[in-house]
């Protein structure tokens, strides 16, 4: 038996706490009496299985799938990087969502299956044909769209996300929510010998649970509560995730414009929802632009920086990663360039001229306004940064001024700047500038 938190091998008998990590055990560790367990937030170290002829590699997730009506069947899909067709099953659910299955989840293999339970979970199960041979199982579950880092088991820091594992006597793994996503699932199968538990086989595959995602936003602006929402398919997000994978660390700053996907239907829908929330007031000037900026500031979290590494390392596992607006919407999170790109896309979709201001170590959205007032602000703390491009005056928009701090107005930029110099001193030098759509 193994600790579900750190993977430490446990002696037979009733154990309440792991002697290695000190975490409370969430199940009975007596052989043959272990209870069903749903995956929780704790991370666990996987116990590897000895090689077996049954080991199946986790298949690559296929993003682009054509579904005609309510068709149920098997597709042969060719990976662009390989001449070998990859077989994928598409299994429709009653609610219109569907499972895309590969590896040992293929129906013809009769090894692993997946289903939605009536109590709101996802069940990953070994077939009776396979499970009849074994007595214990070690399941391993990886959410392919989890952030790259997660909180450590002790809660005192962050560790790279590697998945979640659990030792069970039951040949089924439950995910405790019917959440759309891409999941790599594997199971090590054990038999009890005189020498102890022996791993005899490992089975694995990928399940992509596809359907409609609805994001709802609630925030307060100038003392008034507002709400907005947007719906999109998981495939819409996955398409952007797989786009331009080798060009996310932007060094030619002019390329940031290609990320401002203001014509995307999800961006248009969210922009319309913001306009509806604003009511019958004017939606062409500075006041509405500030309303939109406050929405981004309030509703999109800034990723934590860990161990001296940037926020992109926490979220995407890369030192620098420019995200498309759909990715920020999916995670409800993004660092300065990600939320600036999102805000610029919303501004453009709402009829404003917009872009992104790139500064050393920082990025801000930019919005073009015919008239502008900075309002009352402290000249000891802020400066106003603007630039006229092709006859339009653009004003910097700080997207990372999140509550509980105050909303930061359009044009206002912290005087603390970079390397003890105001940000305005960098505009127009070494590629630091306003890049507009």
Write out pLDDT tens, residues 272-327. Answer: 999 999 999 999 999 999 999 999 999 999 999 887 788 999 999 999 999 999 99
- Check whether residue 348 and residue 201 sit in a common domain: no
Do 265 and 412 lie in one domain? The reply is yes
User: Is residue 430 over pLDDT 90?
Assistant: yes
Asked if 196 and 260 sit in the same domain, the reply is no
User: Is 25 within a domain?
Assistant: no
Which element (helix H / strand E) includes 289? helix 286-299
Q: Which residues contact 319 (CB under 8 A, 6 or more apart)?
A: 249, 309, 310, 312, 313
What range does the domain containing 96 cover? 38-210
Question: Per the domain annotation, does 28 fall within a domain?
Answer: no
* 157 and 300 both lie in a single domain: no
Angle formed at CA 170 by CA 164 and CA 172, multiple of 5 degrees: 60
Cα 159 to the chain's mean position, in Å?
Answer: 16
Which one of 178, 210, 242 terminates a domain? 210
Domain boundary among 177, 210, 243: 210
Give per-residue pLDDT as tens, 101-111: 999 999 999 99
Q: Are residues 167 and 312 in the same domain?
A: no
Strand order in the sheet with 122-126: 38-39, 172-175, 122-126, 112-116
In a domain, 32, yes or no: no
Report the number of distinct structural domains present in the chain. 2
Residue bearing the bigger pLDDT, 81 or 224: 224
Domain assignment present for 65: yes
User: In sequence order, which residues have a C-beta less than 8 Å from that of residue 420 and are 6 or more positions away?
Assistant: none
> Model confidence over 233-254: pLDDT tens digits?
999 999 999 999 989 999 999 9
Q: Are residues 225 and 160 in the same domain?
A: no
- Report the mean per-residue pLDDT for the chain: 84
pTM attached to this predicted model: 0.81
pLDDT band at 65 (very low <50, low <70, confident <90, very high): very low
Which pLDDT does position 49 carry in this prediction?
55
- Could you tell me which residue, 57 or 386, shows the higher pLDDT? 386
Q: Say how far apart CA 159 and CA 44 lie, in whole Å.
A: 11
Cα 352 to Cα 138: distance, rounded to the nearest angstrom: 54
Residue where one domain finishes, among candidates 210, 225, 245: 210
Q: Could you tell me which of 159, 121, 124, 127 has the C-alpha nearest to residue 141? A: 124
Shared-domain flag, residues 151 and 244:
no
Cis link prior to 404 (omega < 30° from 0)?
yes
What CATH number does the domain containing 409 carry?
A: 3.10.620
Half-sphere exposure in the Cβ direction for 111 (13 Å, CA): 21
Q: The CATH number of the domain where 155 resides is what?
A: 2.60.40.10
In a domain, 166, yes or no: yes
What is the pLDDT averaged over residues 195-213? 95
Whether residue 366 sits in one domain with residue 354: yes
Does residue 283 share a domain with residue 337? yes
Are 296 and 407 members of one domain? yes
Same domain, yes or no: 186 and 56: yes
Of the listed ranges 57-61, 297-301, 416-420, the one predicted with least confidence: 57-61
Residue 51 has pLDDT above 60, yes or no: no
102 vs 108: CA distance, rounded Å:
11
Kindly state whether residues 261 and 401 are assigned to the same domain. yes
DSSP 148-160: SEEE-TTSSSEEE
357 vs 336: CA distance, rounded Å: 10
pLDDT reported for residue 23: 43
């Amino acid at each position: 038996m193994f600790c579900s938190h750190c993977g430490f091998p446990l002696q037979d008998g009733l154990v309440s706490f792991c002697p290695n990590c000190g975490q409370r055990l969430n199940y009975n560790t007596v052989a043959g009496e272990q209870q069903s367990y749903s995956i929780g937030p704790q991370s666990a170290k996987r116990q590897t299985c000895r090689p077996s002829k049954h080991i199946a590699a986790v298949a690559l997730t296929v993003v682009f799938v054509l579904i005609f009506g309510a068709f149920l069947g098997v597709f042969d899909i060719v990976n662009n990087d390989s001449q070998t067709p990859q077989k994928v099953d598409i299994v429709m659910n009653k609610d219109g969502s569907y499972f895309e299955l590969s590896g040992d989840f293929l129906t013809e293999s009769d090894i692993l299956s997946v289903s939605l339970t009536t109590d709101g979970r996802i069940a990953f199960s070994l077939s009776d044909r396979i499970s009849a041979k074994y007595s214990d199982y070690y399941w391993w579950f990886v959410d392919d769209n989890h952030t790259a880092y997660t909180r450590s088991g002790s809660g005192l820091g962050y560790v790279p996300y590697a998945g979640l594992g659990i030792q069970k006597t039951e040949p089924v793994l439950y995910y405790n929510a019917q959440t759309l996503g891409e999941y790599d699932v594997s199971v090590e199968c054990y038999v009890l010998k005189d020498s102890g538990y022996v791993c005899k086989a490992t089975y694995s595959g990928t399940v992509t649970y596809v359907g409609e995602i609805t994001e709802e936003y609630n925030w307060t602006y100038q003392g008034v509560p507002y709400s907005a929402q947007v719906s999109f398919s998981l495939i819409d997000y996955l398409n952007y995730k797989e786009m331009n994978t080798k060009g996310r660390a932007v060094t030619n700053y002019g390329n940031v414009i290609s990320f401002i996907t203001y014509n995307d239907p999800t961006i248009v829908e969210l922009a319309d929802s913001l306009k509806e929330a604003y009511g019958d007031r004017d939606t062409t000037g500075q006041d509405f632009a500030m309303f939109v900026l406050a929405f981004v500031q309030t509703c999109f979290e800034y990723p934590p920086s860990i161990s001296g590494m940037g926020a992109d390392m926490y979220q995407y596992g890369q030192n620098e990663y420019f995200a498309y607006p759909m990715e920020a919407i999916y995670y409800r999170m993004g660092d300065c360039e990600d939320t600036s790109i999102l805000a610029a896309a919303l501004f453009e979709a709402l009829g404003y001229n917009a872009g992104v201001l790139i500064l050393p170590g920082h990025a801000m959205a930019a919005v073009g306004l015919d008239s502008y007032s900075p309002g009352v602000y402290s000249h000891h703390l802020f400066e106003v940064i603007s630039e006229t491009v092709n006859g339009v005056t653009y004003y910097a928009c700080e997207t990372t001024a999140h509550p509980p701090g105050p909303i930061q107005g359009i044009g206002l930029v912290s005087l603390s700047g970079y390397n003890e110099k105001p940000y305005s001193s960098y505009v127009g030098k070494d590629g630091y500038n306003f890049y507009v759509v």
